Every structure is written in C-alpha cells, then in structure tokens.
Structure 1
Amino acid sequence: MTPTGTLPAPDRIPADALRDVVDGRWADVRRETRDQLATAGVLADPDASSEEYRARITEALKILTASGRPHSGFAPSVGGRGDVGGVVTAFAMLAYGDLSLLVKAGVQWGLFGGAVQVLGTEGHHERYLRRIVDGELLGCFAMTETGHGSDVQHLHTTATYDRASGEFVVHTPYPQARKEYIGNAARDGRMAVVFAQLVTDAGTHGVHAFLVPIRDSDGNPAAGVTIGDDGRKAGLNGVDNGRLSFERVRIPRENLLNRFADVAEDGTYSSPIENETARFFTMLGTLVRGRISVAGGAGGATQKALALAVRFGERRRQFSNPSTGEEIAVLDYLAHQRKLLPALATTFALHFTQESLVSRMHDIQAPGAAPVGAREQRTLEQSAAGIKAIATWHATRTIQTCREACGGAGYLEENLLPALKADTDVFTTFEGDNTVLLQLLAKELLSDYGRTIRRGNPLQIAPLLGRQLAGVLSERTGLASATRRLPLRGLDLSDRERRRALMRVRRDDTLAAAIRSLAPAMRTGNDEFTVFNANQDLLLTSARAHVDTLVEESFTAALSRIDDDGVRSLLERVYDLHVLDVIDRERAWYLETGRLTAAESRSIRPLVNELCGELQPYARTLVDAFGIPENLLACPMLDDEAWAPAPGSPAEPVTDQVETG
C-alpha cells in the first residue's frame, strides 16, 4: 500500500479529534443538534395509526420550531441568522431519529419556505415568510403531477391571467394534471406553492410558481380546491401526502412568485431572462438546497444503519474457533467485513463530499454572500444532482446490507432497521428521480464541453481534442491497450496516485466516448432525440464517473486538512478502501479499455481484503465518530444483558441433568 502514517491501536485514536474531523465546519451545530436529539422522543412508531402518527409528527414539528433551529437558515429580517449551511447540517441529523419528521420539516421549511424565499420578492417575504418560519403557516410544494413527474417543464396545470379582474385562474384541466404525492397536503397544509403554466393573452410563458391557499381558517378545503389523501405508504407514514386539484381557483396577481418574471396589471409579461428554457432552469437551479438536503438525510440514515450493524457484528457470535473453542464474533469473518467495511468507507467519502457541497452552497446562498458567476452556480447544481443520486442509491443498498448483516434480528421492527429501510426507499425518487438526475448531469457536462470549445482557449481545448483523437484511433485500429495504458505505465496499483489517475481517466474517457457517440446528433437532418436515446447508457456512465471522481477529490481535500497524525492515518486507510472498492466495481470498464491488465485486476481483491482486516478493529471507532445519540441506537438486539456469555462450552449446549431413581 501507499506509505502512510503508523496506525495507532484503536484505543489510542483520539475520539474528540476524530469527531472534530467528521463534524467539520458546522461542529457547533452538530453538537447542539445532538443534545436536542438526545432528549427528544423522535423515533418512528410503526404501530401507530396514520392519524396518530401524523398528529405526533406535527407536534414534533412545533417542538422543532420552538428550538429556533429552522429559523437559522433564513434571513435576519424574518428572525433568522442566515446560516444556510448550518440548517442543512442540522436537518440531515434528523435522520438519526424519525425520518417522517425530517421529511415534514423539509417540506415546510426547505421546499415551501425555501420556494417563497428564493422565488419570491420582498412583498412575499414580508407577508408570508415570518409566518412560515414560525410554523404558523404550514404549506406544500405542489410540483409533481399524476401524469408528469420528471418532465416538470411540461406540467399541465395552468394559471391564466384574467386582465379584467387582475387575478390568476389556477386550473387542473384533467385528472392526469392533478398534483400528486404532495407532502403536508392531506392534513396540515394551508397554502401551496403551485407550479403551473403561466398563460396571458399573448400566449403561454412556461412553468412559474404561484401561492395558492388550499384550506380556509377552519381547515376545510378552499373554494375550488379538491384535496385527496394518498393513504398508507411503504414508509414515512407520519407525513400527510395527498393530491390537489384546482377548479378555476382565483388568486391575486401578486401571488405569482415573481423574482424571475412578472405580469403587469394590463397582462404584459416580462422577464430579465428572455429564453423560456433558460428561465425555467434558472428557477429550478435556485431550489438546489432540496437535493443537497435529501443527500444529507440519506447519509444520516446510512450512518445509523452502519452503527447498528457494526455494533451487532461485535456482539453476535457464530461457530467456534478450533484453536480456542471460543465462538467467533461475526465481524471477525472476512465475508462480514466485506459486507460492511467498504460501505462504511464510502459513507465516509460521501460525508466529506456532502460537507464540501454544503459549504459551497452556503458561500453562494447565505445572506450577504458575494455574487458568483453562472459557472459556479452551474457547478453547484451539477454536483447536487449527482450527489443526491449516488448518496440515496448508496443508502438504499447499504441499509439493505445492514439488515442482512443483522440476520433475523435485523428484520424485527424493534431493532430499527426495517423503519430505516422503508422510510428511505423513496429517497431515490423524490427531489428528482436518480436516473433522470444523472442524465441531467451528463447533459450539463456535454454543455460544458461545448462552451469550452466555443471559448477557444487552446490550453483547455488541446486535452479534450487529444482525448477524442485517442479514442477514435483506438476504436478504429484496436490499439486500445497500447494507446490508453501509456499514461499510467510504471505506477503500482497500490499507489494512491495511480488510483487517483484511474478515477480521473475513467471520468475523462467516458465523457469523451459519450461525445463521440452523440456527434451524429449535431449533424443536419439527424434525429437528435433518437441519437440521445440510443446513447443513454453512455451518458449515465459518464455522469457516474464524474460523481465518483468528485467524491474522491472531496475525500482527498478532507484528508489534507487533518492535523492529528493518528486520525489522518486511520482515515487514509478508509479512503484507500473506498477508492479500491470503486475501481473493483468498475473493473470491467478498466479491463475493456486496457487501463488495467488482468494481473492488475486480480490484485485488487487481496488489497481490499487486507484493508478490511486492518480496519476491522476500528469499525466501532469509525461508526462512533458519527456521534449518533445513544438513545437513538438503543434496541433489543444491542442490549448488553442479552449478550452475556453462555455457561459451559459454547460448542456443546448446556442441558439439565435429570436424576433417575
């Protein structure tokens, strides 16, 4: 392996120093949130009826409001502190408790309040935002329709301006256009941010956001509003998801959230962004906080699942050691280590990536932040889309692995893993379907390539064109091995720089391959949709490679900031395991392209096994570094009394002796 610092014994790793590294920029927020979670009853209750559960979560929302934590992410003018990064960090930690509360809070302050904050203007802020922040006005984020989920640009709900009355008329033209799966709609919401096609006498101007009251002061549906209940779900049953339909509901002209476009009294439409598509994506880009928050929540749930599984793996013993006769802890088995430790390594990698992403978002969005260029904003949006997809897929896969690693105990509700599994399943779908998000990222990467070519900077263009030429030559001559392995020759696979090079070359080459395959779409007369559709697999591969490299770079940056030698040595090995696991997962690509020889490919398995064995004694130290409050991990399968050693030889069950007379 790459030379690294000496790894101290597990009990010599300074717990506070490791926790400080994990806590990062918002360590104070994490400490405060831990203290709050440690005294709150915020665990899921799967036995409660839907109404009981929803009522309990609504009460918990009030307690959360009283803590002042939700306020911190908003501007001081509405009672906040402008700590955008801090509130997203605290939000993610709610995943240690009841994920229904996390989602309910996300809908209220992240989606509903966030939309009013970033899409509205001063009048909306003065009239609504303080009440939203204080929890007095509960609301919804009504974007998805029964017939249109991912294709938001072509929603069918309409908001037609009536010049005679100075009002918008919000209408659901047919059942497929009803708003669907809307959090806070079935029970508690009083107002919704409704996304609809804005129509004036001059025509349709694309999707815009409108504030629409959905209930009166008594809690009854507002005139023209039909509210349905989505009922029981696979999880998150403390959240009141519902359906909304509008029958020519009239709202004041001022209820258009008009940061990016407005309609004058005479019906004249205006926008500082002339292109409808550009305006639409600018509007959606301001909502990036939701995707970052979902990725953080998925990370918190994954950390909890691993903490449960690692602790169980230390306690659970199966089969005897022939040398000693003692039963062996399941975490001592390599197969069990291979289940949990690479997943734990990737969880750390994604945690540091999330920290970096939250910091960038805070520096761009916090009140008083210096303006940034379009490129910086685009990069944030790209990263948020990619990390949301990868983090939530990782959560789904890892929580299932942890459930299996805990055997039958992991299947019991009382041991917490089933609720984690059920509640996080939908994370791969809401705030953007993961596959669609990766396609969006890939298209943005292609656009970046096009912008680079158009700018004509030789220093940027030369590597891109060189990569394209190498790809064409290798495809036409079959010299892939010779042309592609040359830059990496002479570097040992166990060397960190070699592994970094392998990550980056996959990112660059997969994008280059996608560009070559999509070139026909740019030619006159070709069907652009057909060409793109036929190459979706390449687009998704390039997007995944881009995110993998982003995660590796974020982990590397985090390592460079660690002062404590022991902590750095431990996390360097965690980094090594994560990167090798990614290369192992993508071995087919590396072999097909000649980036790895067969012998190098075979060397990965023993390297991973070696790292698993080296990190096994530190598994508990690593999961404890997340700082999950003990009351949120307490469950029967981790009860110390239940794991008291059995009398006698473990290989021979104790039997009662029966006297015979």
Structure 2
Amino acid sequence: MSDVTPPGPVSPDALRGVLDGRWAPVRREVREQLREVDPVPAETGPLDERRARVTAELRALAASGRPRLGFPKEHGGGGDVGGAVIGFEMLGLADLSLLVKAGVQWGLFGGAVQALGTGRHHRLLGPIMDLDLVGCFAMTETGHGSDVQHLETVAEYDAAAGEFVVHTPAPSARKDYIGNAARDGRAAVVFAQLVTGGEGHGVHALLVPIRDDDGNPRPGVTIEDCGIKAGLNGVDNGRLTFDRVRVPREALLNRFGDVAADGTYTSPIDNPNRRFFTMLGTLIRGRISVAGGAGAAAKTALALAVMRAERRRQFTDPASGEEIAILDYLAHQRRLLPALATTYALHFAQEELVTALHELQGEEAREPDERAQRELEARAAGVKAVATWHASHTIRTCREACGGAGYLAENRLAGLLADIDVFTTFEGDNTVLLQLVAKGLLSGFQHDVEDLGTLGMARFVAEQFAGAVIERTAARSAIARLLTGRGEAAGTDLLDRAWQLGAFEDREKHVLEGLARRLRRATEPDADPFAVFNDAQDHLLHAARVHVDRVVLEAFVAALERCPEDAAPLLGRVCDLYALTVVEADRAWFLEHGRISPAAAKEVVTTVDDLCKALRPHARTLVDAFGIPANLLDVPLLH
C-alpha cells in the first residue's frame, strides 16, 4: 500500500521561487505591469470599441519597451529570446486578446521578418518593435491550414519588371483568419508558392503592403472582416485576397531562398523539402509561446475556482452544525486538484522548452544543431497540443465548479473559456501536431525522412526501427516484470518516484514498438501504404501522447531536484498526483499489458483520493504561488 504522508506548511513565496525559475526578474516586472490592467475585458458593446481597447493596450505595451526583449541587440532589441517568451506567456494571466494580438505583431509578423529575412528587411524591425509598422502573418488559407506545403497563393516573378506578382488563384487560396488584418495591419508576411521562369520552388514568404497610409486597402488587395467570433473579439481577424498585386523583388524574405534580377533562383539548402521544414522551424517560437499563454490562462481559472471553493459553503455538517466549504468535498477536490497538479507539471515542461529555445536561438546560442532543432520542434508540438487541450478542459471544469457565478462575464471564467477554445487549433491543429511528434519518434528526427512518402516512411521504419524493437524487447520485459511483480507480490509503492518514471518510460517504449510493427505491414506485397498508416492513426496519436506524458513527468522531477528543502515535500506530493492522475486515466492500458495488477489498479484510485485530501489544505498556497496580481482576481465571484 502507498502511504500518503501529508506535507507540512509552505509559504507561497517559496513555491513561487521554484515556478519563476531562470526568468524570475521578467516575471516580476510583467506582474507589476499587469497591476494596471482591467481584470474584466468588456465583451459587450460595439466590436470596434473592444478592438480599439486592445490596440490601446498593445500600444502601451510597445511604449514599455518590453516587446524589444526578444529581438537581436544589433537591431535595438534585448537579445533575450527566453525572456521574451516568458513575458508573452504572462499576458495570459490578464487578457488573451492582448496576448494573441501581441503574438501576431511581435511573435509571428516580427518574428518572420527577423527569422526569414536578411539585412534589407531587418531595418524594419525598429518600426515593428515600436508598433509604427503593424503587420499580419498571412499563412493559413481557406483550403489549406495544416498542410502549409500545398498553399495555393502564388508569387510569380516578372523578370522584365523586377517584381513579384502575388495572386489568389481560387477562393480556396484566400488567406483566412488573419490576425491584425481586419483593422490595424499595414503589411503582411504572405506565404506563397514561389515561381520563377515557370518553375516552382515551393512555399516562401514575401512582405506585402496591404493598406496605404490612410488605412485604405492597396490596389488589388481585398480585405474582409471575419466579424464576431466565439472569443478573442479584441483581435481583428480578417481575410486577404490578392489580385495580381505587384511587389519589388526585394520583398522576398530571402534568408533561405533568393531570386536574382534575371529570375535565377538560389538557396543555401538544395533539398526543397528540407528547405521548407527549415524555414518553418525558425518560427517555432510562436508554438512555444501559445503553450505558455494557455498555461497562464489555466492558472488564472484555477486560482478563481480554488478561492471560490474555499469560500462557497453548501449543506450542513451534522457534527458541527455548520455549512461545509465545497473544497472539503472529495468530489470537488477531484475536479480541481488533479488539474492543478497537471498545470504545475506542464509549467516545468514549458520552462524546459523555453530554455532549449533560448539556447538554440538566443544571443549566446551555440553552433546550429539540426538534430537539436528537430527535437525541439517535436517537443514543442507535443507540449503545445497537451497544454492547450489541458487549458481548455481545465477552464471549462473551473467554470462548472463555480456554478452560475462562473457563467457571468464579470467573473472572467466564461470569457477565458471562450478565448482559450481556439488555442487547440491555431499554431497547429493539436491532432496534426501529435502526428508530427510520433513521426519524429519513428524517424529519429532525421531530416531526410521529410522526403519520404507514405511507403517510404513505412520502409524507413521497417529498416531502421525494427531492429531496435527486437533489441529493446528483453529490457522492456524486465521492466514489465519488475512493475507487475511489485503489484502482485511486494505491493506496488505508487509513490516511489523510480516506479513512476519506469512506468512512463516502459509504456512509451511499448506503444512505440507496437506502432512500428503495425507500420511495417505497409511494405508487404499488395499492401496499401496509405490504408496501413490511416488504420494506425489511433496508435500514432497514443504514441505521441505517452511520449509527452513522460517528458512532462521528467521535467517535474528535474524541478524537484533543484527546489529548496522546505518546498520539496509539498511539490513532491503535487508531482505524485500528476503522475498517478495519468496512470489512472490510462489504467486500461496498464492492466491490459500486465504492467499493474487489478489490485494495484484499484489502489491507484484510492491513492489519488488520498493525495487530493492531503493537498486540500495547501490548495490556496498552490494557486497563490502563481503570483497572479490581485487586481486580476478582483471579481464579484470572490466578494
């Protein structure tokens, strides 16, 4: 049996020191700025007023100089990529419309100009940082979102004029859902199929003016307003259509592909697929930032719900005659505390992601490491998917936990729920992102796999991965015997950190090996490679998900190893709750594959109950440790 010893009291400041981590000064500075923000954005009234308010907040943010933090020092920035991502993440505690609009301007638009452009474009970074040039990131089209490689917008070079002609050839090629397009944007980074001399060179990005100085659409540019959305109505999403719009040859963001005056195309990367994925890889900061912003929104929701649950009382205790705080009910603890534990776990995984990004793209970055870049892209995809799904589920749970009060706009939860919903599909649809993660696991992050079709991928798996499957079988079986043996004989110690880590690692290996065996069938005579891959989609997604679970648990354990002695017992119990919540959710797999006994499976449930009870006295401390400014929690729900 697992003995859940309740942890002793800990100050929120001690936990905050662990949570704030490397970029604690940035977090403190942003908290001070957020003390001036209205906690309840006005969701009623004219749409223009809502947008104008967020634009004013964006200008105040620009005036503070904080958006400069992530840009290179030689262009007037702060050279702190990690600090910029953390600062962006913190905006999620306040207004997600402001977070998204800031992300579009400085993360996507400015980030693309910096990462994909060269010196002739970098002169624009000053105006971009200061908000003198407001821009859009025009990638997604009506007909293609996730499949960026097959966008339909065309940029064909006219050598006689020395210009590119940007054109929308069909309704499905319309740029859709583009932030900053409907109202404020003056230019757009437009992703299009590059054509020179009748030859296509794949998707590239060009800087295209879309409005004149008076705010009117430029000739050939049609701008439509997406109108009222389910959430994020402070962001002016629009649609862009181009009717043979001409831009100078220099408008091409030419770091990875350039066109000479005579139309000759050159690139430092010969392989078109590798070039394409390298270009997209430089924009990974946006995906990491979205995961962090979603985590911040989940923290705000949990703080509101936990504080409400401590104050709200329902039904009388026969022994005392007093009404009972709803957080004292195990059912309510079960709703909030596992979500709180997972939020902590994802926070530490996010911190590791930001650190890895900073080391690869920051001012002090080491020499380019393609494998490290690929691993970061896959990890960012996985954490983004899991973090945004978690945030959406958690905020909904918190809204429901607060009853009718949670449904009122004045109490923030309804607005957070509406705003967070789209996070699961922008910066990459979560299901597609998990497929990317699984593909990276199967391929070992080798760039040449991008050249392979479905059959080629299957053959690669068969040739490169199958041997490893056989080699690992003995080791995996040994782990399995250890896990199951404990369950039957000695009694599983579910709180043993080594057991938790071993269980997560073993599950990941087994699922991935099973997936490889399924995909090998695509190489058999008369096999339909697409059908084999399509039939294995459930397995593919499960492999990616259990990989992310293992990464997140290891990040939490690493955080425990560096936390101060007084905070370790409490954080250790939070880590236990995260780990066993994951095991409980996937008990069927652990049972079906003999990793735990039926008795141990039942014990998982009772241990999660015991952990919730043990952490109940610390629930307020755990949310106070987030350091959310008091004005952002000053809502009628808590009065």
TM-score higher than 0.5 here?
A: yes
Q: Which residue of 245, 253, 256 corresponds with 1:260?
A: 256
1:600 aligns with 2:600: yes
- Cα separation, partners in 2 of 1:550 and 1:285, compared to 1, 3 Å: same
Q: Using the alignment, how far apart are the partners of 1:101 and 1:310 within structure 2?
A: 25
Q: Per-residue CA shift, 1:193-221, capped at 9, x if unaligned?
A: 00000011151111111100000111100
Distance 2:291 2:625 in 1: 19
Rounded Cα–Cα distance in structure 2 between residues aligned with 1:187 and 1:6: 54
Aligned to 1:616: 616
- 1:64 and 2:82 are equivalent in the alignment: no
- What secondary structure sits across from 2:566 in the alignment? helix
Give secondary structure in 2 for the equivalent of 1:566: coil
Contact 2:484-2:595 at 8 Å conserved across structures = no
- Please give the alpha-carbon distance, in whole angstroms, between the structure 2 residues aligned to 1:149 and 1:462: 36
Structure 1 residues 372, 449: CA separation in 2 closer, same or farther (over 3 Å shift)? closer
Contact 2:155 2:193 in 1 (8 A): yes
Confirm or deny that 1:281 pairs with 2:277.
Answer: yes
- Contact 2:16–2:626 under 8 Å retained in 1: yes
The match for 1:47 is 44
* Partner in structure 2 of residue 187 of structure 1: 183
- SS of residue in 2 equivalent to 1:46: coil
Q: Deviations over 1:217-251 (max 9, x none)?
A: 11100110000000000010010000000000001
| 1:279-428 superposed matches below 5 A | 279-428=275-424
Match of 2:556 in 1: 555
Shift of 1:461: 8.8
What SS class does the counterpart of residue 444 from structure 2 fall into? helix
CA distance in 1, matches of 2:583, 2:254: 47
Instruction: Find the partner of 2:435 among 436, 439, 444.
Output: 439
Unaligned runs of 5+ in 2: 450-456, 487-491
Residue number in structure 2 paired with 1:88: 85
The question of whether the paired residues in 2 share the 8 Å contact of 1:5 and 1:566 is answered with no
Cα offsets for 1:106-163 (capped at 9, x unmatched): 000000000001111111102x111111110000000000011111110000000111
Which residue pairs with 1:521 in the alignment? 522
Specify every segment of 5 or more residues in structure 1 that has no aligned partner in the other structure, as ranges.
Answer: 472-481, 640-661
Q: Residue 489 of structure 1: CA displacement?
A: 4.2
Partner of 1:587: 587
Say if 1:163 and 1:527 are closer, same or farther in 2 by CA, change over 3 A: farther
- CA distance in structure 1 between the aligned counterparts of 2:527 and 2:116, rounded to whole angstroms: 38
Relative contact order higher in (CA < 8 Å, ≥ 6 apart) = 2
> Which is worse superposed, 311-320 or 38-47?
38-47
Amino acid at match of 2:262: D
Aligned to 1:653: none
1:485 aligns with 2:480: yes
Match of 1:532 in 2: 533
| Alignment check: 8 A CA contact 1:2 1:496 kept | no
| 1:524 to partner: Cα distance | 6.5
**Which residue is equivalent to 1:655?**
none
Contact 1:5 1:569 in 2 (8 A): no
Q: Which amino acid aligns with 1:145?
A: E
Instruction: Kindly state the Cα deviation for residue 24 of structure 1 after the two structures are TM-superposed.
Output: 0.6
1:14 aligns with 2:11: yes
CA gap of 1:489–1:601, structure 2 versus 1, over 3 A, is closer
1:78 aligns with 2:79: no
> In the TM superposition, what is the alpha-carbon distance from 1:522 to its structure 2 partner?
3.7
For the residues of structure 1 that align with 2:467 and 2:572, how far apart are their CA atoms? 34
Secondary structure in 2 aligned to 1:441?
Answer: helix
C-alpha distance in 2 between matches for 1:2 and 1:209: 56
How far off its partner does 1:18 sit? Answer: 1.4
* CA deviation after TM superposition for structure 1 residue 375, in Å: 1.2
Where does residue 453 of structure 2 map in the other structure?
none
1:4, distance to aligned residue in structure 2 (A)? 9.4
Cα shift at 1:424:
0.5
Relative to structure 1, the CA distance from residue 59 to residue 513 in structure 2 (aligned partners, 3 Å threshold; closer, same or farther) is same
Give distance in 2, aligned partners of 1:507 and 1:122: 45
Q: Which runs of 4+ in 1 moved over 4 A?
A: 1-6, 449-455, 460-463, 468-471
Q: Distance in 2 between matches of 1:514 and 1:461?
A: 10
Other-structure match for 1:113: 110
- AA aligned to 1:339 is R
1:449 deviation in Å? 7.9
The letter of the residue matching 1:511 is L
- From 29, 51, 57, the equivalent of 1:32 is 29
Residue in 2 aligned with 1:646?
none
Higher mean displacement: 259-268 or 365-374: 365-374
Shift of 1:41: 3.0
Aligned length: 622
Q: Secondary structure at the match of 1:207?
A: strand
Compute the displacement of 1:463 (Å).
Answer: 5.5
Superposition TM-score, scaled by structure 1 size:
0.91
- Match of residue 454 from structure 2: none
Counterpart code for 1:486: R
Taking structure 1 as reference, are residues 252 and 100 closer, same or farther at Cα in structure 2, changes over 3 Å only? same
For structure 1, which segment, 76-85 or 545-554, has the greater mean C-alpha deviation from structure 2 after superposition? 76-85
Q: Which residue of 2 aligns with 1:230?
A: 226
Separation in 2, partners of 1:112, 1:247: 22
Contact 1:468 1:516 in 2 (8 A): no
Structure 1: distance between partners of 2:432 and 2:466: 29
Q: Percent identity?
A: 60
Instruction: Mark the structure with the bigger radius of gyration.
Output: 1
| Counterpart for residue 466 of structure 1 | 471
The aligned residue for residue 207 of structure 2 is 211
| Secondary structure of 2:247's aligned partner | strand
What SS class does the counterpart of residue 322 from structure 1 fall into?
coil
Counterpart CA distance in 2 for 1:470 and 1:505 is 9
Quote the offset at 1:599 in angstroms. Answer: 1.2
CA RMSD of aligned residues (A): 2.2
Aligned match of 1:477: none
Q: Could you tell me how far apart the structure 2 residues matched to 1:331 and 1:411 are?
A: 19
Q: Which whole-Å CA distance do the structure 2 matches of 1:25 and 1:438 have between them? A: 28
* 2:554 counterpart letter in structure 1: E
| Maintained 8 Å contact 1:57/1:238 | yes
- Shift, 1:2, TM fit: 7.1
Asked if 1 retains the 8 angstrom alpha-carbon contact of 2:434 and 2:541, the reply is yes
The match for 2:142 is: 146
- Output one character per residue of 1:298-324: Cα deviation in whole Å (capped at 9) or x when no partner: 000000000000000000001111111
1:181 counterpart SS class: strand
Alignment of structure 1 residues 152-167 onto 2, 5 Å = 152-167=148-163
Q: Find the aligned partners of 1:466 and 1:488 in 2 and give their Cα distance.
A: 20
Counterpart of 2:470, as a letter, is L
Deviates more, 1:196-205 or 1:247-256: 196-205
Deviation at 1:590, TM superposition (A): 1.0
The amino acid of 1:626's aligned partner reads F
Distance in 1 between residues matched to 2:512 and 2:208, nearest whole Å: 43
TM-score of the superposed pair, with normalisation by structure 2: 0.94
Q: What does 1:607-646 align with in structure 2 at a 5 Å threshold?
A: 607-639=607-639
